[in-house]
Amino acid sequence: MLAIVVVSVGSYLRWWDLGFHVASLRLAHWLAYIATGYIAIFTPIYARLKRRSPGRFRTLLNIHVFGNLVAFLLISMHYAHHMGRPPEFPPTIGTGLTLYVILAIMVLTGLMQRFRLATRLQKTWRFVHVGLSLSFYIVVIMHILITLGVV
Protein backbone atom coordinates (compact mmCIF):
# COMPACT_ATOMS: atom_id res chain seq x y z
CA MET A 1 0.00 0.00 0.00
CA LEU A 2 2.92 2.32 0.71
CA ALA A 3 4.25 1.67 -2.80
CA ILE A 4 0.89 2.68 -4.25
CA VAL A 5 0.96 5.97 -2.33
CA VAL A 6 4.58 6.75 -3.35
CA VAL A 7 4.00 5.90 -7.00
CA SER A 8 0.75 7.91 -7.06
CA VAL A 9 2.41 10.97 -5.53
CA GLY A 10 5.27 10.61 -8.01
CA SER A 11 2.80 10.44 -10.88
CA TYR A 12 0.90 13.48 -9.58
CA LEU A 13 4.09 15.51 -9.14
CA ARG A 14 5.44 14.33 -12.51
CA TRP A 15 8.52 12.63 -11.09
CA TRP A 16 8.24 10.38 -14.13
CA ASP A 17 6.75 11.04 -17.52
CA LEU A 18 3.56 9.09 -18.22
CA GLY A 19 2.40 11.58 -20.84
CA PHE A 20 4.35 10.31 -23.81
CA HIS A 21 2.51 8.49 -26.55
CA VAL A 22 2.65 4.77 -27.16
CA ALA A 23 0.88 4.27 -30.47
CA SER A 24 -2.11 6.62 -30.36
CA LEU A 25 -2.51 6.88 -26.57
CA ARG A 26 -0.50 8.19 -23.65
CA LEU A 27 1.28 5.70 -21.41
CA ALA A 28 -0.97 6.68 -18.47
CA HIS A 29 -3.99 5.49 -20.46
CA TRP A 30 -2.35 2.20 -21.42
CA LEU A 31 -1.59 1.51 -17.76
CA ALA A 32 -5.25 2.05 -16.87
CA TYR A 33 -6.51 -0.08 -19.78
CA ILE A 34 -4.24 -2.97 -18.89
CA ALA A 35 -5.17 -2.80 -15.20
CA THR A 36 -8.90 -2.42 -15.84
CA GLY A 37 -8.81 -5.29 -18.31
CA TYR A 38 -7.07 -7.48 -15.77
CA ILE A 39 -9.66 -6.73 -13.08
CA ALA A 40 -12.60 -7.05 -15.48
CA ILE A 41 -11.44 -10.38 -16.90
CA PHE A 42 -9.71 -12.11 -13.99
CA THR A 43 -12.23 -11.32 -11.23
CA PRO A 44 -15.05 -13.46 -12.68
CA ILE A 45 -12.53 -16.15 -13.61
CA TYR A 46 -11.29 -16.17 -10.02
CA ALA A 47 -14.86 -16.37 -8.66
CA ARG A 48 -15.59 -19.35 -10.89
CA LEU A 49 -12.30 -21.21 -10.35
CA LYS A 50 -12.33 -20.91 -6.56
CA ARG A 51 -15.58 -22.89 -6.53
CA ARG A 52 -14.54 -25.43 -9.16
CA SER A 53 -11.07 -26.08 -7.70
CA PRO A 54 -11.22 -25.70 -3.90
CA GLY A 55 -7.79 -27.34 -3.60
CA ARG A 56 -6.26 -24.40 -5.44
CA PHE A 57 -8.09 -21.76 -3.42
CA ARG A 58 -4.98 -20.44 -1.65
CA THR A 59 -3.05 -20.03 -4.93
CA LEU A 60 -6.01 -18.41 -6.66
CA LEU A 61 -6.55 -16.05 -3.72
CA ASN A 62 -2.91 -14.96 -3.78
CA ILE A 63 -3.08 -14.30 -7.53
CA HIS A 64 -6.33 -12.38 -7.06
CA VAL A 65 -4.97 -10.24 -4.22
CA PHE A 66 -1.54 -9.54 -5.71
CA GLY A 67 -2.84 -9.02 -9.25
CA ASN A 68 -5.54 -6.62 -8.16
CA LEU A 69 -3.08 -4.67 -5.99
CA VAL A 70 -0.79 -4.26 -9.00
CA ALA A 71 -3.81 -3.25 -11.10
CA PHE A 72 -4.81 -0.71 -8.44
CA LEU A 73 -1.24 0.64 -8.50
CA LEU A 74 -1.43 1.17 -12.28
CA ILE A 75 -4.86 2.77 -12.04
CA SER A 76 -3.59 5.01 -9.21
CA MET A 77 -0.76 6.15 -11.48
CA HIS A 78 -3.29 6.95 -14.22
CA TYR A 79 -5.62 8.79 -11.84
CA ALA A 80 -2.84 10.77 -10.16
CA HIS A 81 -1.40 11.67 -13.57
CA HIS A 82 -4.73 13.21 -14.56
CA MET A 83 -5.23 14.99 -11.24
CA GLY A 84 -1.75 16.53 -11.58
CA ARG A 85 -2.54 18.21 -14.88
CA PRO A 86 -1.76 21.92 -15.12
CA PRO A 87 -4.60 24.36 -14.33
CA GLU A 88 -4.99 25.36 -17.97
CA PHE A 89 -5.92 21.74 -18.81
CA PRO A 90 -8.03 20.63 -15.84
CA PRO A 91 -9.16 17.02 -15.63
CA THR A 92 -12.81 16.16 -15.90
CA ILE A 93 -13.81 14.56 -12.66
CA GLY A 94 -16.91 12.42 -12.47
CA THR A 95 -16.93 8.80 -13.51
CA GLY A 96 -13.14 8.68 -13.07
CA LEU A 97 -13.40 9.79 -9.44
CA THR A 98 -16.34 7.45 -8.86
CA LEU A 99 -14.41 4.56 -10.36
CA TYR A 100 -11.33 5.33 -8.31
CA VAL A 101 -13.33 5.50 -5.06
CA ILE A 102 -15.03 2.19 -5.91
CA LEU A 103 -11.65 0.55 -6.53
CA ALA A 104 -10.12 2.00 -3.38
CA ILE A 105 -12.97 0.66 -1.24
CA MET A 106 -12.79 -2.69 -3.05
CA VAL A 107 -9.08 -2.92 -2.20
CA LEU A 108 -9.75 -1.94 1.41
CA THR A 109 -12.57 -4.46 1.87
CA GLY A 110 -10.56 -7.12 0.05
CA LEU A 111 -7.61 -6.62 2.39
CA MET A 112 -9.95 -6.67 5.38
CA GLN A 113 -11.24 -10.07 4.23
CA ARG A 114 -7.85 -11.45 3.22
CA PHE A 115 -6.16 -10.64 6.50
CA ARG A 116 -9.28 -11.27 8.59
CA LEU A 117 -9.36 -7.82 10.14
CA ALA A 118 -12.51 -7.07 12.15
CA THR A 119 -13.76 -10.63 11.84
CA ARG A 120 -17.16 -9.71 13.28
CA LEU A 121 -17.83 -7.77 10.10
CA GLN A 122 -16.61 -10.48 7.69
CA LYS A 123 -20.04 -10.91 6.06
CA THR A 124 -20.40 -7.15 5.72
CA TRP A 125 -16.96 -6.80 4.09
CA ARG A 126 -17.87 -9.56 1.64
CA PHE A 127 -21.23 -7.99 0.80
CA VAL A 128 -19.64 -4.58 0.17
CA HIS A 129 -16.72 -6.12 -1.76
CA VAL A 130 -18.96 -8.12 -4.11
CA GLY A 131 -21.44 -5.27 -4.50
CA LEU A 132 -18.69 -2.84 -5.45
CA SER A 133 -17.31 -5.40 -7.91
CA LEU A 134 -20.62 -5.31 -9.73
CA SER A 135 -20.70 -1.50 -9.55
CA PHE A 136 -17.19 -1.44 -11.02
CA TYR A 137 -18.45 -2.99 -14.28
CA ILE A 138 -21.29 -0.49 -14.64
CA VAL A 139 -19.15 2.57 -13.90
CA VAL A 140 -16.19 1.45 -16.03
CA ILE A 141 -18.49 0.99 -19.03
CA MET A 142 -19.96 4.47 -18.46
CA HIS A 143 -16.46 5.93 -18.01
CA ILE A 144 -15.33 4.47 -21.32
CA LEU A 145 -18.47 5.62 -23.16
CA ILE A 146 -18.15 9.15 -21.76
CA THR A 147 -14.44 9.29 -22.58
CA LEU A 148 -15.15 8.19 -26.17
CA GLY A 149 -17.88 10.81 -26.45
CA VAL A 150 -20.64 8.27 -27.03
CA VAL A 151 -22.62 9.43 -23.98
What pLDDT, in 10s, does the model give residues 30-76? 999 999 999 999 999 999 999 999 999 999 999 999 999 999 999 99
The answer to whether residues 124 and 113 touch, using CB atoms and an 8 Å cutoff, is no
* Confidence category of residue 151, pLDDT binned at 50, 70, 90: confident
The pLDDT value recorded for residue 16 is: 87
**What confidence tens digit (pLDDT) does each residue in 10-28 have?**
999 988 888 888 888 889 9
**What confidence tens digit (pLDDT) does each residue in 79-112 have?**
999 899 888 888 877 889 999 999 999 999 999 9
Single pTM value for the model: 0.89
Sorted by where each begins, the domain ranges of the chain are 18-89, 92-151
* Confidence category of residue 77, pLDDT binned at 50, 70, 90: very high
CA-CA distance, 37 to 39, in Å (whole number)?
Answer: 5
C-alpha 49, offset from chain centre:
21
